[in-house]
Structure 1
Amino acid sequence: MPETKVWVLQDPRAGTAAQALGIAEALAEPFRAIPLGWSGLAALPLPWPSLWGLDAATRAQFAPPWPRLVISAGRRAAPAARWLRARGARTVHCMRPGPGAADFDLLVLPRHDDPAPAGNLLPILGATHRLTAGKLAEARGAFPALGALPGPRIALLLGALPAEAATRIGQQARALGGSVLATTSRRTSPEAASALAAALEGHPHSLFRWGDAGPNPFLGLLAHADAIIVSADSISMASEALVTGAAVFLADPGGLGPRHRAFADSLVTAGEARWLGPEAALFTRAGRNETTRVAEAIRERGLV
């Protein structure tokens, strides 16, 4: 097998995989992605470096030449990353790894998890992702109709929420600007999507319901937005919104747990977002890409 100096252990969950893949892409080094399949032992908090949590097909892909750097995310991938470290690889891991946190050369954890200080720790706002300024530029050209809507254009990104919250947030989005560029997600119920549509009726807008025909305009919404409203239950969407230079507002969908509220408060405390409310007004901010910052830290530490 030819040598590839960077391996990405790719979790089957898209959001978790994106955290590791985004870092590898930001490094701009050739990398090999290994899709992970789990064995029945994967759910156990394996305390030692091991491939026991992987199924046989995945274990067969672990063969020399070994990588110089392994990037992983999620607790189940951590024992395999530690196993590769025992064979000389340097390791970068996103999210809490369970046992063996000190084994990683760089541990990337969100500030809202309140991690204890450590020499291998890099706290970040939110989560790493695959969004880049280049992808936003491409999306701006791919969705010109969104740019033709009157400004200020308010992108509205909804996750899971009740219909009454969708109505409230839709009305607040209308009050902020000349048009609303809205999308639901796979977690948005049909009832909430219909409530949002009713709230936007009569106001210039574009609404993409999850599952609609045609390309998903998510990146186009971010690219053309003067402000972005994200329901605070979605850490990934809010983290991606930070890349833009648009004002970012966090909408409370109701029922936020302590972790999601801590996440939202971490963005507000850092001056990167504000809570959406009746008195909300547009503000200016610079874009922030935490994935790029992680890639820079990897190079500064000589891990690749």
Structure 2
Amino acid sequence: MTEEGEVWVLADPRAGTAAQALGIAERLEVPFRTVPLAWGGMARLPWPWPTLAALTPEARAQFTPPWPRLVLSAGRRSAPVARWLRQRGARAVHAMRPGPVARGFDLLVIGQHDAPTPAANILPILGATHRMSPARLAAARAEWAELAALPSPRVALLLGGQVRGEGMAPATAGELARRAAAFGGSVLASTSRRTGAGAREAVAAALQGVPHRLFGWGDAGPNPYAGFLAWADAVVVTGDSVSMLSEAMATSAPLCVAETTDATRHRRLWRSLYAAGQACPFIAPVSFPRTPLDEAARVAQEIRKRGWI
């Protein structure tokens, strides 16, 4: 039996990146230790060898023996740290491209949209791993049972925004809200940190007179995001968010992609989802059968099959 401390999860400060490693760990259903990472000024460098140099002194102080049997990580900056632990005997499983050096990992979990080169230590997945497990969705459905009072179809509208910039254009956000309302039931709208206050206000204005629930980034009270996914009869996600698109695939609801960015990498992601029958462009209200996708569970199964826990 795997004991506490034998599995370490390197948790990047960015929640979406950390969730990719944590999601895999949670599907392993064994005890694990979360090691929060904090980056110093040297984290900007593309470290080509195993090192803890990019960490702050406080973060480095966490790295003491006994060393783990398995380390899970995600994101370019954590890759040299995972490789450093691998030098001390750990198996290293890393989500996302690891930066300039792809060797030195036992398993690399990479989205199909990043066109990974086939290799024995490469596991291509659809989208990204995350923490929106079947158990979490079931718990959220119970926690947010009040959403059942909203008329069907309940359309979850999940808005992201530019990675760098001034947020989503209010006109775009308002138009998406109006189109989501055209499904004829109710709208469960959520805005993210990148959406911006102007876009949130535009969504609120567009949904006046429409049965809805709106939760914006920074709003007071518990975040109903997981509840929105759990109760949605259809999900509309802006195509700029790999995380939200991947989390939406954990549900059985039809998934529509609002193609709000020209980024090549994101467009490759959309095409991979369309080809797999997991999503369609958000052109008009649609309904189509979908099988929930749990790529984190598939990664966990691969780890078990290789005998690493």
Structure 2 length as normaliser, TM-score? Answer: 0.93
Matched position secondary structure for 1:29: coil
1:226 is the counterpart of 2:227: no
Q: Is the 8 A contact 1:3 1:67 kept in 2?
A: no
Of residues 297, 302, 306, the one that matches 1:301 is: 306
Give the aligned partner of residue 224 of structure 2. Answer: 217
Matched position secondary structure for 1:41: helix
- Amino acid corresponding to residue 195 of structure 2 in structure 1: T
Matched position secondary structure for 1:246: coil
Q: Distance in 1 between matches of 2:100 and 2:189?
A: 41
The more displaced of 220-229 and 57-66 is 57-66
1:288 is the counterpart of 2:293: yes
Matched position secondary structure for 1:250: strand
Of residues 179, 187, 190, the one that matches 1:183 is: 190
The more displaced of 268-277 and 187-196 is 187-196
Give the aligned partner of residue 55 of structure 1. Answer: 56
Q: Distance in 2 between matches of 1:100 and 1:262?
A: 23
Matched position secondary structure for 1:42: helix
Mapping for residues 165-204 of structure 1, pairs under 5 Å: 165-204=172-211
1:261 is the counterpart of 2:267: yes
Matched position secondary structure for 2:52: coil
Give the aligned partner of residue 97 of structure 2. Answer: 96
Of residues 274, 277, 281, the one that matches 1:275 is: 281
Q: Report the RMSD for the aligned CA atoms in angstroms.
A: 1.5
Mapping for residues 115-126 of structure 1, pairs under 5 Å: 115-126=116-127
Matched position secondary structure for 1:176: coil
Deviations 1:112-157 (A, max 9, x none): 1111111100111111111111111111121222111111111111
Matched position secondary structure for 2:94: strand
Q: Is the 8 A contact 1:8 1:34 kept in 2?
A: yes
Q: Per-residue deviation at 1:54?
A: 1.9
Give the aligned partner of residue 30 of structure 1. Answer: 31
Q: Distance in 1 between matches of 2:153 and 2:41?
A: 52
Unaligned segments of structure 2, at least 5 residues: 162-167
Q: Is the 8 A contact 1:71 1:93 kept in 2?
A: yes
Structure 1 segments of 4+ aligned residues over 6 angstroms from their partners: none
Structure 1 length as normaliser, TM-score? Answer: 0.95
Aligned length: 301
Q: Per-residue deviation at 1:30?
A: 0.9
Q: Is the 8 A contact 1:154 1:177 kept in 2?
A: no
The more displaced of 206-215 and 223-232 is 206-215
Q: Distance in 1 between matches of 2:113 and 2:79?
A: 21
Give the aligned partner of residue 154 of structure 1. Answer: 155
- Amino acid corresponding to residue 198 of structure 1 in structure 2: A
- Amino acid corresponding to residue 234 of structure 2 in structure 1: A
